[in-house]
Amino acid sequence: MTTARFPPGRIVATPGALAALAEAGESPDIFLKRHFIGDWGEVDEHDRRENELSIVQGFRLLSSYTLSNETKLWIITEADRSVTTLLLPSEY
């Protein structure tokens, strides 16, 4: 794995995200690795630029991925880098 671009803090997941991952038969690891190396997934160009700025400035980071069952999964790392959360958009 390429080196993480920021400290992830504690990694947690909501019940909905865990259920969606289980239903899709996918592990959270691949999505977490992508998030940590700065592969923000399916965010628009504005959000990509915001994430890049946020690494430098210490703001919140957001990635968005689509699971094999078409469920959208978000990963958010808080500004203080204390926690990274896997969640569904509906749980935000």
What pTM does this model have? Answer: 0.96
Q: How far apart are CA 90 and CA 92, in angstroms?
A: 6
Per-residue pLDDT of the chain (92 residues; tens, 9 = 90+): 579 999 999 999 999 999 999 999 999 999 999 999 999 999 999 999 999 999 999 999 999 999 999 999 999 999 999 999 999 999 99
Residue bearing tokens 């980071």? 61
**Cα dihedral value 79, 85, 89, 91, nearest 10:** -110
